[in-house]
Copies of this chain bind each other. A is one copy, B any other.
Amino acid sequence: MNLAPLAEVTRGGQIESLHAGAVAVVDSGGKLLYYAGDADFPTFTRSTLKPFQALPFMRGGGVAHFGFGSREIALMCASHSGEPMHVDTVRAMLSCAGCDEHHLRCGCHVPIRYAAADQRPPAGEIFNQLHNNCSGKHAGFLAYCVQHGLPLDTYIDPGHPLQQAIRHDVARIAGLPESGLVSGIDGCSAPNYAMPLSRLALCYARLARGANDREYGCALGPLFDAMTGQPELVSGSGRADLAFMQAAPRDWVVKGGAEGVLAVGVRSAGLGIALKVADGNARALYPAAIAVLRQLALIDAVTPAPLEPWSQPTLRNLRGLVTGDVRATVRLVKA
């Protein structure tokens, strides 16, 4: 496996740990323009898949059927923090479909908002599946099933018509045969797919083209507009995806996924960018992504203010003493 350096973690000015991985930069036709490491690294897409998991819903007229707006579309694409704005919107989406929290099959976890703020959850606070960062995606899944008269209780089974429709659309967007998608089960129990990293980049180049995509424009247009128009609903306070989308409003669509995946679509430049940290650690991801954006001349010498905390993050210990930092080491190569 050909891995390229992405970032190093220092302590006392010396390297303590190293992160390697791969980067692919493509145009909206999927042509590889720049790369680092193996541009076709087989990459489980994890939460970067969410906008494309919403394609059957979008194409099936779900937005009009349920009277959803861009807030609800943003939530379907979200790895949200479980803040009230997220939880309330998901609850309302479920209600529109005649469902509630008990129909969800995503499982529970402590909302991301606490980790994002480096806080412990308040004493005695009870969480449910609405707080799961994927609950908006699952609410969209359930709404699709209600609209099309499909079984609700098996909506995440790989053989369910919804999941088959998603698999079909994901393969089309990625320009792959369905047999080219490797299947796994995601943290939220939904099917997830792996594809070559350059194909994930292509998916985001097409998402950034939005309404101008010849095949899926009528779905990708509203998805891009919703994600970039309400990035706080797709992510959450203090999180990197939000900061990246605030750095280039309505131009960069940015989505992270578990195990060190990040995908960026750049409307103005007609580019799709995907990064995979081979070891899965997200701490390398954002410094490396900023370095990549700079090498592509999408960021100039001055780092945009929202990205400043993510560029070369200072590491502090329990008493707040600086112990080191995370530094990008990635170098893009022209294809």
By the criterion CB–CB under 8 Å, are B108 and A318 in contact? Answer: yes
Residues of chain B within 8 A of A1, CB atoms compared: 18
Given contacts A17-B278, A18-B279, 13 further A-B contacts (CB under 8 A): A12-B185, A16-B259, A17-B280, A18-B278, A19-B279, A20-B279, A106-B318, A107-B318, A185-B317, A185-B321, A185-B322, A188-B318, A279-B281
- Bound Cα distance A317, B279 (Å): 18
Residues in B neighbouring A12, C-beta threshold 8 A: 182-185, 194
Interface CB pairs A-B, < 8 A, 11 = A14-B42, A15-B42, A17-B260, A107-B319, A109-B318, A123-B124, A124-B124, A187-B323, A279-B279, A279-B284, A280-B281
Known contacts A14-B194, A42-B15, A189-B317, A324 near B184 by CB under 8 Å: yes
User: Chain B residues with Cβ under 8 A from A182's Cβ?
Assistant: 12, 14
A317 to B17, Cβ gap below 8 A? no
Contact with B along A295-320 (1 / 0, CB 8 A): 00000000000000000000001110
A224 to chain B, nearest CB (A): 27
- Residue contact A194 to B123, C-beta cutoff 8 Å: no
CB contacts (< 8 Å) of A107 on chain B: these are 317-319
Which residue of B has the minimal Cβ distance to A109?
Answer: B318
Q: Which residues of B contact A280 (CB under 8 A)?
A: 9, 16-17, 281
A11 contacts the other chain (CB 8 A): yes
- Residues of B contacting A192 in the complex (Cβ-Cβ under 8 angstroms): 11
A267 at the interface (CB under 8 A from B): no
Please, how many angstroms separate the alpha-carbon atoms of A44 and B105 in the complex? 43
A17 adjacent to B319 (CB under 8 Å): no
Copies of this chain, how many? 2
A16 & B318 in contact (Cβ 8 Å cutoff): no
List of B residues within 8 angstroms of A218 by Cβ: none
Could you mark each residue 175-209 of chain A with 1 if its beta carbon is under 8 Å from any beta carbon of chain B, else 0? 00000001111111100101000000000000000
Q: Kindly identify, within residues 132 to 191 of chain A, every residue whose CB is under 8 Å from any CB belonging to chain B.
A: 132, 182-189
Question: Bound state CA distance, A241 and B318, in angstroms?
Answer: 23
Are A184 and B11 neighbours in the complex by a CB distance under 8 Å?
yes
Produce 1/0 per residue, A37-69, CB < 8 A to B: 000001010000000000000000000000000
CA of A44 to CA of B12, assembled, Å? 10
Say yes or no for A214: interface residue by CB 8 A criterion: no
B contact residues around A14 at 8 Å (CB): 42, 44, 182, 184, 194
Beta-carbon contact of A259 and B17 below 8 Å: yes
A102 interface residue (CB < 8 Å to B): no
In the complex, what residues of B have CB within 8 A of residue A189's CB?
A: 317-319, 321
A42 to B124 Cα, complex, angstroms: 45
5 tightest Cβ-Cβ pairs between the two chains A and B: A107-B318, A12-B184, A11-B184, A123-B123, A279-B279
Contacts of A281 in B (CB 8 A): 279-281
A110 within 8 A of B: yes
